[in-house]
């Protein structure tokens, strides 16, 4: 039994479609941000579509440039493939470019896309397919150390925080690995388990598989999913937390976000509420679970206000508070050394 491993043909063409909201283009943005050397360009169906700061390319231009894989870079609610995408995806497949998707809708379930891939000799690769024969969680304590990123909402930096922690911890000499639990993370890491596609009874078991027993001082930096207060996705967050047996966690938050993205009737919980509930649930499998920091996406506030905003949160919760993409995560790593 093993995690999913990918062998994708490079370079990549990131397909954005006509999605204008960066929040819903997070798959493409994640790959572009963390694997820019593998990205040849982006394909947008309208000028209003999200711009990932990659060269705009057509299918014909991409084929001439030797692009190996078109990565579907959007993650719509429900994970469907809109009819408006099919002409472009079929053109790419017929041109011999592999189509890589992380949606709930399987690419190979779409007849016209299967036909185009067969004609072009290309592959349809579905990342959001969990390994077979996943176990029910045992709850048995595993060797090694684990940090889980959790959030006040979705799409606010859990993956980026875990990736930056891996980068900064390795720079300090830690034995540390990013563990991907979502489609974008799997595309970045080349391995992982798409937790949100796992049957409910096996979510915690899948989390155990994602972060197996390891050397005593090894750290697994586990990408969180959903949010423990999220009206739609709390179940996957709960199962991932229990199976991770996290020794430490970091709360991720988006500055200025007041309501759950896409569920405007639900207010975003406070950081304190997330800390309290994460400890209450996580202590089932690790009574020593501790919060070691706060990670904030500060894109919505002015640069002059950032330092004061982070300092205010740090003082309020007596925890280091960073924007990982601007300040790095070394302050959290220092707390990790003290608390674990």
Domain positions in the chain: 4-126, 145-339
User: Across-strand partners of 153?
Assistant: none
> Cβ of 276: how many Cβ atoms within 10 Å?
13
Burial label, 243 (beta-carbon count in 10 A; 0-12, 13-18, 19+)? buried
Q: Are 4-126 and 145-339 the same fold in CATH? A: yes
pLDDT of residue 1: 46
Residue 299, both tokens: 């894109």
Q: CATH number for 145-339: choose from 1.10.10.10, 3.40.50.300, 3.40.190.10, 3.30.420.40.
A: 3.40.50.300
pLDDT of residue 103: 84
Which superfamily does 4-126 belong to? NAD(P)-binding Rossmann-like Domain (3.40.50.720)
Residue 160: its pLDDT value, please? 95
For residue 269, the model assigns a pLDDT of 98
- For the chain (length 340 residues), average pLDDT per consecutive 10? 72 94 86 93 95 96 97 76 93 97 90 98 93 94 98 95 98 97 90 92 96 97 97 97 98 97 96 98 98 97 94 98 97 92
């Amino acid at each position: 039994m093993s995690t999913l491993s990918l062998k994708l043909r490079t370079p990549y063409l990131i397909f954005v479609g006509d999605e204008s909201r960066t929040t819903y283009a997070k798959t493409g943005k994640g790959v572009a941000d963390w694997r820019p050397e593998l990205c040849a360009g982006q394909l947008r169906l309208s000028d209003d579509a999200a711009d990932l700061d990659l060269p705009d390319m057509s299918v014909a231009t991409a084929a001439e440039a030797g692009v190996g894989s078109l990565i579907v870079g959007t993650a719509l609610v429900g994970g469907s493939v809109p009819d408006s995408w099919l002409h472009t995806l079929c053109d790419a497949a017929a041109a011999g470019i592999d189509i890589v998707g992380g949606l709930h809708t399987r690419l190979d379930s779409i007849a016209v896309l299967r036909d185009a891939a067969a004609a072009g000799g290309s592959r349809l690769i579905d990342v959001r397919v969990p390994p077979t024969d996943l176990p029910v969680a045992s709850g048995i304590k595993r060797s090694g150390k684990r940090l889980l990123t959790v959030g006040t909402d979705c799409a606010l930096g859990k993956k980026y925080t875990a990736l930056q922690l891996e980068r900064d911890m390795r720079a300090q000499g830690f034995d540390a690995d990013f563990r991907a639990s979502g489609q974008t993370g799997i595309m970045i890491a080349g391995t992982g388990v798409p937790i949100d596609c796992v049957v409910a009874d096996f979510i915690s078991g899948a989390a155990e598989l994602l972060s197996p027993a390891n050397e005593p001082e090894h750290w697994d930096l586990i990408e969180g999913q959903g949010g423990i207060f999220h009206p739609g996705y709390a179940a996957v967050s709960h199962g991932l937390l229990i199976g991770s047996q996290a020794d430490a966690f970091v709360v991720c938050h988006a500055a200025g976000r007041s309501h759950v993205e896409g569920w405007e009737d639900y207010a975003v919980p406070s950081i304190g509420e997330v800390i309290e509930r994460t400890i209450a649930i996580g202590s089932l499998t690790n009574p020593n679970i501790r919060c070691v920091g706060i990670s904030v996406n500060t894109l919505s506030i002015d640069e002059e206000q950032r330092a004061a905003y982070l300092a205010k949160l740090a003082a309020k919760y007596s925890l280091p508070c960073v924007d990982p993409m601007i300040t790095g995560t070394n302050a959290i790593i220092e707390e990790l050394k003290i608390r674990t």
